[in-house]
Amino acid sequence: MSRLGDLIRTERIRQKLTPKQVARKCGVSESYLLAVEAGTRIIADDQARRILKTIGLKQQNEAEFTLDDIAATVDLVQVQPKMAAAAAKKPERKEAELVASVEEGVAGSVWLDALQSVLKRVPVMNAVMKPVSYKLVPVENGRIEGANPDKVFYYLAPDDSMRGFRIHRGDIVLTVPAQSPVDGAIMLLNYKEHRYLRKIKVLDDRNVLLQSYDREYEAETAAISDVGFLSRCVQVTFELQ
């Protein structure tokens, strides 16, 4: 149970209020409130304040919670769709503007800054390297997958040229910076004025094999000097239909 959930449950019981009574006053379901009390539900801080106020605790503030408690009071599930909607509405807007629009959506959040040390809004880039949405990714020891969080991004697979390597069109691939070929890795690269996802086989100190696999396996030998290596793919995410 989280400190927030424990606080709500303890005060509710002290005032002899049932979960149904508190939930009704707060405009949420009983199961939702019970999940909050159990610490298994992530909620927005404004809603946490509303619940605390409803049960009579008006002075509780963020200083009394640990960083883990803070993270457990912000609805990360709600933040991501707002980012995606902002990006889709005006895809040419700069990242700072998109972030600002999301912060407005999490109205009055006093804990958002604290979360930036444990979470990073990572852009999902399309084939022309424009952000189409964002995903929140955990930051561990100031790094994401060992890389500078500001240099990490997701790439939206534009086609099925890598489906033989389990990356299908519409999947998003988390990438970290890599400016030289990594043998056996799937990498994002520029080649012949196009951007590709390709599996790399280092042949020697001058040449690599660029591998793809749609309906058939294909490979092309290329001079390392002719390839612009952008990043290494470390994770792929897909949605279940």
- Token output for 53: 């106020």
Average pLDDT, rounded, for the chain: 78
- Percent of the chain having pLDDT more than 90? 43
| pLDDT at residue 192 in the model | 93
Residue ranges per domain, the chain?
3-71, 76-155, 157-237
Q: Angle 136-140-146 (CA atoms, 0-180°, nearest 5)? A: 100
With 0.85 as the threshold, say if the pTM is over it: no
CA pair distance 170, 160, nearest whole angstrom? 9
Query: Is the C-alpha dihedral spanning 62, 82, 188, 238 positive or negative?
Result: positive
pLDDT surpasses 50 at 231: yes
Contact 145, 235 (CB under 8 A): yes
At 64 the three-state DSSP class reads helix
Q: Which one, of 227, 190, 187, lies nearest residue 207 by Cα? A: 227
CATH entry, 3-71, from 1.20.272.10, 1.20.210.10, 1.10.260.40, 3.30.2290.10: 1.10.260.40
Please give the order of strands across the beta sheet that includes 217-223.
Answer: 131-138, 119-125, 153-156, 172-177, 228-237, 186-191, 194-202, 207-213, 217-223
At 29 the three-state DSSP class reads coil
Number of Cβ atoms within 10 Å of the Cβ of 113? 10
- Token output for 79: 């933040």
Residues with Cβ within 8 Å of residue 195, at least 6 apart in sequence: 127, 129, 188, 189, 230
Q: Which one, of 227, 231, 228, lies nearest residue 147 by Cα? A: 231
Helix ranges (H only) for 90-203 are: 95-105, 112-115
pLDDT surpasses 90 at 32: no
Q: Angle 51-52-58 (CA atoms, 0-180°, nearest 5)? A: 135
Instruction: Render pLDDT for 63-108 as a digit per residue (tens, 0 to 9).
Output: 454 444 544 444 444 444 444 455 455 455 454 454 444 444 444 4
Residue found under tokens 């590709």: 196
Q: How confident is the model at residue 210 (pLDDT cuts 50, 70, 90)?
A: very high
| pLDDT at residue 9 in the model | 82
| pLDDT at residue 104 in the model | 45
Ramachandran angles phi, psi of 137, nearest 5° = -125, 135
CATH entry, 157-237, from 2.60.40.3080, 2.10.109.10, 3.40.50.300, 3.40.50.800: 2.10.109.10
Residues with Cβ within 8 Å of residue 119, at least 6 apart in sequence: 71, 76, 136, 137, 138, 139
CA pair distance 82, 74, nearest whole angstrom? 14
